[in-house]
Amino acid sequence: METVSKSRTNPTHETADERMDRLKMGIYAALFAALTAAGAYLAIPIGPVPIILQNMFVLLAGLMLGSKWGSISIGLYLFAGAIGFPVFSGGTGGIARLIGPTGGYLIGFLAAAYITGKAVETFGDRWMSRIAGMVIATLVVYGLGVSVLKWVTAMSWQKAFVVGVLPFLIGDGLKIAAAEAVYRMVSRQFPVPRS
């Protein structure tokens, strides 16, 4: 009888340490959502898709928090923007941004955090796994971004690629290198439990 009542009050049998880890991960997820929002204010406007630091923080969220909590972090960021908080590039917000020319890139951020985290979880926390995960994640962001950009603006595929990918290749390569460097430095000092 006592066992039944315990399972009713705590059906997952979660320990105090597990609850504390979950709380910490929630805080870290909120922190990375805020960092991603801050990255939106660091933008170089060129064409319909500005160069921004958001995606560096998206990649770091996946690296630091793993696929589950990295995705939760970026989901929180997207939710905040969708309901009108000025967290998207240029200090904008609203659901219209998610269905506008840059919407594919924004939705791609969710996949990017998951892919980056999953690469490390699947292939180990080694630099090759991290770099490969970030490169694949960036390609997914490009794929979704260019597809939506083409659809919304009625550009040709070639024009959408020229406008939505080419100007960002070098910058995104540098952001991947910077995310790797920041991860190495921060993860040694502040290891985050990926749970």
More confident residue, 147 or 41: 147
Assigned fold of 15-189? Arp2/3 complex 21 kDa subunit ARPC3 (1.10.1760)
Q: For the purposes of burial, counting CB atoms within 10 Å of the CB of 5, is it exposed (0-12), middle (13-18) or buried (19 or more)?
A: exposed
Q: So what's the pLDDT on residue 112? A: 98
Element (H, E) at 146: helix 127-153
Per-residue pLDDT band for 157 (boundaries 50, 70, 90) equals very high
Q: pLDDT tens-digit profile of 23-60? A: 999 999 999 999 999 998 876 666 665 668 899 999 99
From the list 112, 176, 177, 179, the residue with the least C-alpha distance to 144 is: 112
The model's pTM is 0.87
Q: So what's the pLDDT on residue 65? A: 95
- Please tell me whether residue 88 adopts helix, strand or coil conformation: strand
Please give the average per-residue pLDDT across 112-121, as a whole number.
96
Output the DSSP codes for 40-59: HTSEE--TTS-EESHHHHHH
Per-residue pLDDT band for 89 (boundaries 50, 70, 90) equals confident
Per the listing, tokens 């840059």 go with 102
Q: So what's the pLDDT on residue 28? A: 95
- pLDDT for residue 7 is more than 80: no
The residue length of the chain stands at 195
Distance CA 160, CA 149 (A): 6
Please give the average per-residue pLDDT across 5-20, as a whole number.
68
Find out whether 32 and 192 touch, Cβ atoms under 8 Å: no
Per-residue pLDDT band for 78 (boundaries 50, 70, 90) equals very high
Distance CA 59, CA 108 (A): 11
* Domain residue extents for the chain: 15-189
